[in-house]
Amino acid sequence: MTKAVLEKSAARHIFIPKRVFIEPAALHYELGQHLRDYFSAEGIPVTVTGSHNRIVGIPGKTPQEGFFEAKRTLVIGVRKGKEFQTCKPSAHYQLPLVTSCPGKCEYCYLLTNLGKKPYLRIYVNLDEILSRASDYIQEHLPRETIFEGAATSDPIPVERYTGALKQAIEFFGQQEHARFRFVTKFTDIDSLLEAKHHGRTRFRFSLNTDYVITKFEHDTPSMTERVAAASKVARAGYPLGFLVAPIMIYAGWQQGYSELFAELDRVLDPLSRKDLTFELITHRFTRRAKNNIQEIFPKSQLDMNEEYRQFKYGQFGYGKYIYPKESMSEVKVHLENLLNRYFPEAKVEYLV
Ligand code: SF4
Closest to 199 in 3D by CA, of 131, 270, 275, 264: 275
Within a 10 A sphere around the Cβ of 145, how many other Cβ atoms? 21
Q: Probe ligand 1: pick from 185, 296, 297, max atoms within 8 Å of CB? A: 185
Compute the half-sphere exposure of residue 334: CA atoms within 13 Å on the CB side of its CA. 21
Distance from residue 218's CA to the centre of ligand 1 (Å): 9
Helix/strand/coil for 93: strand
Fold observed for domain 199-283+323-352: pyruvate-formate lyase- activating enzyme (3.80.30)
Distance 152 CA to ligand 1 centre (A): 9
Cα–Cα–Cα angle for 150, 112, 187, nearest 5°?
35
Instruction: Give residue 223 CA to ligand 1 midpoint distance, Å.
Output: 14
User: What was the pLDDT predicted at 271?
Assistant: 83
Helix (H) or strand (E) holding 198: none
Q: How far is CA 231 from CA 196, 228, 283, 302, 333, in A?
A: 18, 5, 26, 30, 27
Question: Ligand 1 pocket: which of 99, 109, 110, 216 to mutate (most atoms <8 Å of CB)?
Answer: 110
Residue 154 CA, closest ligand 1 atom number: 3
pLDDT computed for residue 274 by the predictor:
85
Residue 153 CA: nearest ligand 1 atom is: 3
Helix (H/G/I), strand (E/B), else coil: 352: coil
Nearest ligand 1 atom to the CA of 107 is 7
Give the H/E segment covering residue 203: strand 201-207
Write down the pLDDT at residue 53.
74
Ligand 1 centroid to Cα of residue 208, in Å, is: 12
The angle subtended at Cα 340 by Cα 338 and Cα 341, nearest 5°, is 65
| pLDDT value of residue 170 | 98
Rounded Cα–Cα distance for residues 137 and 152 (Å): 21
User: Over its length of 352 residues, how does the chain's per-residue pLDDT go in tens digits?
Assistant: 666 666 666 767 899 999 999 999 999 999 999 999 999 999 999 999 987 677 888 999 999 999 999 999 999 999 998 899 999 888 999 999 999 999 999 999 999 889 889 999 999 999 999 999 999 999 999 999 999 999 999 999 999 999 999 999 999 999 999 999 999 999 999 999 999 999 999 999 999 999 999 999 999 999 999 999 999 999 999 999 999 999 999 999 999 999 999 999 999 998 888 899 999 999 999 999 999 999 999 999 999 999 999 999 877 667 999 999 999 999 999 999 999 999 999 999 999 9
Residues with CB under 6 A from ligand 1: 101, 103-105, 108, 110, 154, 185, 217, 220
The domain ranges of the chain are 199-283+323-352
Atom of ligand 1 nearest to the CA of 206: 2
Ligand 1 centroid from CA 20, angstroms: 20
Substitution candidate for ligand 1 out of 154, 182, 225 with most atoms within 8 A of CB: 154
Q: Look at residue 314 in the predicted model and tell me its pLDDT.
A: 77
- State the distance from the centre of ligand 1 to the C-alpha of 103, rounded, in angstroms: 5
Please report the pLDDT score of residue 272 as a whole number: 84
Q: In the beta sheet, which residues pair with residue 348?
A: 278
By alpha-carbon position, which residue is closest to atom 7 of ligand 1?
108
Residues 6+ apart with CB under 8 A from 204: 181, 182, 183, 184, 240, 241, 242, 243, 277, 279
Mutating to test ligand 1, I would choose from 101, 104, 248 the residue with most ligand atoms within 8 A of its C-beta, which is 101
Torsion of CA 243, 293, 54, 78, to 10 degrees: 10
| Distance from residue 153's CA to the centre of ligand 1 (Å) | 7
